[in-house]
Structure 1
Amino acid sequence: MSLPHAILTALLEKPSSGLELTRRFDRSIGYFWSATHQQIYRELGRLEEAGLIRALPGDGPVRGQRKAYEVLPAGSEELARWVGGSQDPKAIRDPLLLRVRAAAVVGTGGLLAELRRHLELHRRQLALYEAIEERDFPPGRDSDEDRLRRLVLHGGIGLETFWLRWLEEALEEVGGMADRPDAGPDPAGGAGAS
């Protein structure tokens, strides 16, 4: 149940309208927690109904006017409770890993191109994260808030670095195999962990 907490975090950083939140998700939080604008607007309604946020007072209802929201004390308390809580890691669900596993039984046709494509995508993402770090965290910027934000960014950098290493290994392994479209499972069970 992390989307409401992502929204509370963003609103505590800066009161915003739904549209502004969507844009901010695209530029920051969305790198590690994505949400569509429909999901954000729906969650804003739920948070307001639960008494965790409120629409900022305006000059009155005007058609097309954006409602800006701020977090109420109950919302801050909920976010603090959630930060201090416990949650198990999520299992990896990655289609590329499943494709590699499937190649063990149906052959590797087309897999090399997809591995190369993913390698390029992860290179670009790593370059983006490194550019964000250089832009947003210059030397000497070390408040507690900045250190925690940088820590999240370093998590993204670490994940991209992992994917680059794994994809290079996968390209080497798959590239050294003859494509066997009729490949079947190894009778000795060598297709990997079940």
Structure 2
Amino acid sequence: MSLPHAILTALLERPSSGLELTRRFDRSIGFFWSATHQQIYRELGKLEQSGLIRALPGPPAQGRRKEYEVLPAGRTALTDWVAEPQDPKPIRDPLLLRLRAAAVVGLHGLDAELRRHLDLHERQLAEYLEIEQRDFPAAKADTENRLQHLVLQAGIQLETFWVQWLTEALAAAVAEAAEALAASAPERG
């Protein structure tokens, strides 16, 4: 249900074409709410049909795509959604379940997967920190949009957590594998 709200938010920030929205999702919104090109275009059609957005008046210039803007009903729908209560979603991460299973059946290469995840989270953290440096420099801290910065900071903190946790999990997995190897090695006399 949140994709239409993500699109309404993006269109209120700046009227855009479907292609521009796709690019914006790839660069910013997609860090916390992803959508494919097809999903965005499909949702634009539904939002337009529902009377929440409209194509900007006037014929599109040659080579220019149809741009959309939010109508008052769309702003009201987004405002109402912002105020709705919603419980946090429980964590359903297959990696956590795999680690729990490894405690029962052994690691069997899970350490490589932990290293891969660690690398992915380190890269994502670096990208978020780069975005923060570029878009929210300390000199502009009082003038920038604090709420957008908070969203980015949430991403930074989540990635920092995963990097720390995966580092610890990898160390524990390596230690577990070493202990298992030592226990299975024949005694030297």
Answer whether TM exceeds 0.5 for this pair.
yes
Matches within 5 A, 1:63-82: 66-82=65-81
One-letter code aligned to 2:160: T
Tell me by how many angstroms 1:149 deviates: 0.6
> In structure 2, what is the Cα distance between the partners aligned to 1:146 and 1:6?
17
Tell me by how many angstroms 1:178 deviates: 2.9
**Mapped pair 1:34 → 2:18:** no
**Mapped pair 1:21 → 2:21:** yes
Tell me by how many angstroms 1:15 deviates: 0.4
1:109 aligned counterpart, secondary structure:
coil
Distance of aligned partners of 1:179 and 1:98 in 2 relative to their CA distance in 1, 3 Å threshold: farther
Q: Give the count of matched residue pairs.
A: 180
> In structure 2, what is the Cα distance between the partners aligned to 1:53 and 1:61?
20
Q: Which runs of 5+ in 2 are unaligned?
A: 181-189
The root-mean-square deviation of aligned C-alpha atoms, in Å, is: 2.1
Q: Structure 1 stretch 136-145 or stretch 115-124: which is displaced more?
A: 136-145
Distance of aligned partners of 1:140 and 1:180 in 2 relative to their CA distance in 1, 3 Å threshold: closer
In the other structure, the counterpart of 2:153 is 154
> In structure 1, what is the Cα distance between the partners aligned to 2:144 and 2:82?
14
Q: Which runs of 4+ in 1 moved over 6 A?
A: none
One-letter code aligned to 2:127: L
> In structure 1, what is the Cα distance between the partners aligned to 2:90 and 2:143?
30
**Mapped pair 1:87 → 2:93:** no
Distance of aligned partners of 1:132 and 1:61 in 2 relative to their CA distance in 1, 3 Å threshold: closer
- Identity, % of aligned pairs? 70
> In structure 1, what is the Cα distance between the partners aligned to 2:121 and 2:3?
25
> In structure 2, what is the Cα distance between the partners aligned to 1:154 and 1:60?
38
Does the 8 Å CA contact 1:107/1:180 hold for their aligned counterparts? no
TM-score (norm 2): 0.88
In the other structure, the counterpart of 1:105 is 104
Distance of aligned partners of 1:103 and 1:179 in 2 relative to their CA distance in 1, 3 Å threshold: farther
One-letter code aligned to 1:120: D
- By percentage of residues, which structure has more helix? 2
In the other structure, the counterpart of 2:115 is 116
One-letter code aligned to 2:149: R
> In structure 2, what is the Cα distance between the partners aligned to 1:140 and 1:48?
40
In the other structure, the counterpart of 1:184 is none
Q: Which runs of 5+ in 1 are unaligned?
A: 182-194
2:39 aligned counterpart, secondary structure:
helix
